[in-house]
Chains A and B, each alone.
Chain A
Amino acid sequence: DIQMTQSSSPLSASVGDRVTITCRASQSISRFLNWYQQNPGKAPKLLIYAASSLQSGIPSRFSGSGSGTDFTLTISSLQPEDFATYYCQQTYFTPWTFGQGTKVDIK
């Protein structure tokens, strides 16, 4: 299986901060990398697909970058509704594994 390792959790930040979450794959996954946001008690929501493509309806303050084994999710200016847990997922090989999650909480 491909292992996905994310930034340490929790990540403490303030409204307006620029936040960066990293995700590393145990082998190259090209750009088959997706980012999801999950709020407590809710289903995950797709933010970014194919490493850097913004899902329809997602605010432009979210962006993704990377290829191969190293990827980044950036929130340019953190908003109150962005305090949540973020997961990366590789879809290069089955099983389509998730990272362990990075919780962004209030500093």
Chain B
Amino acid sequence: EVHLVQSGAEVKKPGESLKISCRGSGYNFVDYWIAWVRQMPGRGLEWMGIVYPADSDTRYSPSFQGQITISADKSINTAFLQWNSLKASDTAIYYCARHSGSGSFSGDSWGQGTLVTVSS
């Protein structure tokens, strides 16, 4: 069975750095894109970017380019989302999702979400 398991909730101060993770199991990790999606409190889904673990090909939404770093380590079947300097406006739930590498690129399996709270 396919599973994506994300790291636990985080509470950080503005200006701090953070790296959250998403570990895949039950499938060949390198064959699927991993996307990161933000959901701010009471708001909709925002697509942040994707990484292809086989070759670390990465694409970013212009809205998030330069603010985050997305990466993957195929040796441990894990994708990462990283900030160097958090802002209060980064407070949100962050989801990872597995997307097929061909065809419709649909997100067929999602992590449970990681709540990030940034507050002084």
Contact = CB atoms under 8 A, between A and B. Distances in A.
Given A31-B104, A43-B110, A50-B104, A94 B44 contact: no
Q: Which interface class (under 10, 10 to 19, 20 to 34, 35 or more) fits A?
A: 20 to 34
Interface in B61-120: 61-63, 95, 97, 99, 103-108, 110-113
Interface in A68-101: 85, 87, 89, 91, 94-101
B95 A34 contact: no
Nearest to A56: B108
B113 A101 contact: no
Interface residues of B, number: 26
A53 interface: yes
Interface of A: 1, 31-32, 34, 36, 38, 43-46, 49-50, 53, 55, 85, 87, 89, 91, 94-101
